[in-house]
Amino acid sequence: MAADVVAVGAGLAGLVTARHLQRSGIDVTVLEAGSTVGGRVATNTTDGFVLDRGFQVLNTSYPALRRDVDLAALDLRPFTAGAAVRGADGALHRLVDPRRAPAQVWRTALDGLLSPAAKLALTQLSARAALGDPRQLLAGPERSTADELAVQGLDGPATEQFFRPLLAGVFGERELATSSRFFGLVWRSFTRGASTLPSRGMAALPVQLAARLAPGTVRCGQTVLGVAPGRVRSGTGELTARAVVVATDPPSARALLPGLDVPLMRSLTTYYHVCEHPPTRLPLIHLDGGGGPVLSTTVLTAVAPSYSPDHRHLISSTVFGVPGAGHPEEPEVRRLAGAIYREGSAGWQHLGTAIVPQSLCTFTPPTPDRLRRTVSLGDGLFVAGDHRDTPSIQGALVSGRRAARAVLRELGVPGPA
């Protein structure tokens, strides 16, 4: 069997690659080992509740998202811009963006979690991120996020009680060793866009991308055993192609392409609980400013009521690692999450657990030029995925578009990609 291009993996990067190639008249086949499209962006339904594969959000400021996705069709439900933080004093502090929640401006201004100087520094940081040229972020000096916060006057309690718990779940690491350049882009997205949940779950994103492909493009249940220039070998046979794009997670990509430079991965586990009476009705992410093992906890139904089939409420709580090996398990996570809300959790029922051993790519200095790794490997072999750009949905979408452009150049075909 032959195709112009075979893409391995039907995650976001593979789907976008296929979409842009098909728009240029290229015959594409996408092989996916799993039973559905999406890769790490996946959703299950348990007893009518919508359970994403780990705590994920969709930020509306991503340029690639606005370019490649019909956001209105996803029926996005926004979080309140900000966070509730249980401080070292045991109190629950609420910090929100006063530009988008003006009714909360005085509460945030008078809250004691951050000092007046830290609040001013945070305001200045956010203004620069929102209004500045993103190219300046890539041209400036690179250091760790922790060092960047210190330079911005946000070290000490501001880092320990706000930035460290907030960014730990974004970066997959608590040391804030992640590149300051990536932090700048993340903070820019926070200040310019809304964090949202699609009403039908995060899988609605890859499902929409797949629906735009020609019928029969994606073949699920196809485990790829090897790739070579012009050939892809799967469990059901061999396909020939003019170009091959490996668009899998980093470990799988390295297994198929020995010697490929890929980052290390961080593991996260999210526990889902159901309760009759929610600990809050605010669509806010809740954090532990005391450094506990629960990275974040959120009443998802306060953001997207459609995540529940009835009147009950769905709570997600995320920790580092996988169960065991020194990481807290469900009963302890439930207790600690309840404490963050300053509420009891005895009435919470454990509904499910999302273990994501390859959740987030590390992104520590020094990073590649323009935060991008090559997508063209020569001999008609290409690679796509967030590990070629930034570890984000934006990075996955951009890498797919870059891979499509590289393939078109290789094939000598002009096109919109």
**Domain annotation covers residue 148:** yes
Q: Is the Cβ–Cβ distance between 285 and 303 less than 8 Å?
A: no
Mean pLDDT of the chain: 95
Q: State the pLDDT confidence band at 140, using cuts at 50, 70 and 90.
A: confident
**Domain annotation covers residue 66:** yes
**Domain annotation covers residue 82:** no
Q: State the pLDDT confidence band at 101, using cuts at 50, 70 and 90.
A: confident
What pLDDT score does 207 carry? 99
CATH of the domain at 392: 3.50.50.60
Q: Which of 261, 258, 247, 198 is nearest to 70 (CA)?
A: 198
Whether residue 237 sits in one domain with residue 376: yes
Whether residue 177 sits in one domain with residue 133: yes
Higher pLDDT, 319 or 417: 319
What is the spatial distance between Cα 303 and Cα 80, in angstroms, rounded to a whole number? 8
| 376: pLDDT strictly greater than 70 | yes
What domain range is 47 assigned to? 43-77+265-361
What is the spatial distance between Cα 365 and Cα 181, in angstroms, rounded to a whole number? 9
Whether residue 357 sits in one domain with residue 283: yes
Split into its structural domains, the chain has a count of 3
What pLDDT score does 183 carry? 97
What pLDDT score does 308 carry? 99
- C-alpha distances (whole Å) from 337 to each of 6, 216, 268, 362 are 45, 44, 16, 26
Whether residue 230 sits in one domain with residue 304: no
What is the spatial distance between Cα 53 and Cα 58, in angstroms, rounded to a whole number? 14
The stretch 8-31 carries a mean pLDDT of 98
Whether residue 350 sits in one domain with residue 277: yes
Following DSSP, what letter does each residue of 166-200 receive, concatenated?
HHHHHHT-SS--SBHHHHHHHHHHHHHS-EEEETT
**Domain annotation covers residue 246:** yes
| 417: pLDDT strictly greater than 80 | no
CATH of the domain at 63: 3.90.660.20
**In this structure, what token pair is assigned to residue 236?**
């059901």
Whether residue 236 sits in one domain with residue 214: yes
Q: Which of 273, 276, 338, 303 is nearest to 46 (CA)?
A: 273
Q: Which of 230, 248, 262 is nearest to 30 (CA)?
A: 248
Residues in the chain: 417
Q: State the pLDDT confidence band at 258, using cuts at 50, 70 and 90.
A: very high
Distance from CA of residue 128 to its chain's centroid?
23
**Domain annotation covers residue 97:** no
What is the H or E stretch that residue 220 is in? strand 218-220
Whether residue 168 sits in one domain with residue 309: no
pLDDT tens, residue by residue, 180-222: 999 999 999 999 999 999 999 999 999 999 999 999 999 999 9
| 105: pLDDT strictly greater than 60 | yes
CA atoms within 13 A on the CB side of 237: 4
**In this structure, what token pair is assigned to residue 149?**
């916060």
**Domain annotation covers residue 105:** no
Among residues 188, 216, 250, the one where a domain terminates is 188
Whether residue 289 sits in one domain with residue 155: no
| 11: pLDDT strictly greater than 80 | yes
Beta strands 285-288 and 82-86 are parallel
Whether residue 247 sits in one domain with residue 373: yes
What pLDDT score does 29 carry? 98
Q: Any idea what DSSP says for residue 371?
A: G
Q: State the pLDDT confidence band at 138, using cuts at 50, 70 and 90.
A: confident
What is the spatial distance between Cα 240 and Cα 380, in angstroms, rounded to a whole number? 12
Among residues 323, 340, 361, the one where a domain terminates is 361
Q: State the pLDDT confidence band at 99, using cuts at 50, 70 and 90.
A: confident
| 63: pLDDT strictly greater than 80 | yes
Whether residue 145 sits in one domain with residue 23: no
Q: Which of 387, 411, 402, 129 is nearest to 260 (CA)?
A: 387
Kindly give, in sequence order, each residue whose CB lies less than 8 Å from that of residue 317, ignoring residues fewer than 6 positions away. Answer: 270, 271, 273, 294, 296, 297, 333, 334, 336, 337
The stretch 146-150 carries a mean pLDDT of 98
**Domain annotation covers residue 232:** yes
Whether residue 270 sits in one domain with residue 256: no
What is the H or E stretch that residue 116 is in? helix 116-131
Q: Any idea what DSSP says for residue 71?
A: T
Whether residue 19 sits in one domain with residue 144: no
pLDDT tens, residue by residue, 295-318: 999 999 999 999 999 999 999 999
What pLDDT score does 416 carry? 64
Task: Express as a percent the part of the chain with pLDDT over 90.
Answer: 90
pLDDT tens, residue by residue, 159-177: 999 999 999 999 999 999 9
What pLDDT score does 41 carry? 98
What is the spatial distance between Cα 205 and Cα 70, in angstroms, rounded to a whole number? 9
| φ/ψ bin of 291: left (φ > 0), alpha (ψ from -120 to 50), beta (otherwise) | left
**Domain annotation covers residue 154:** yes
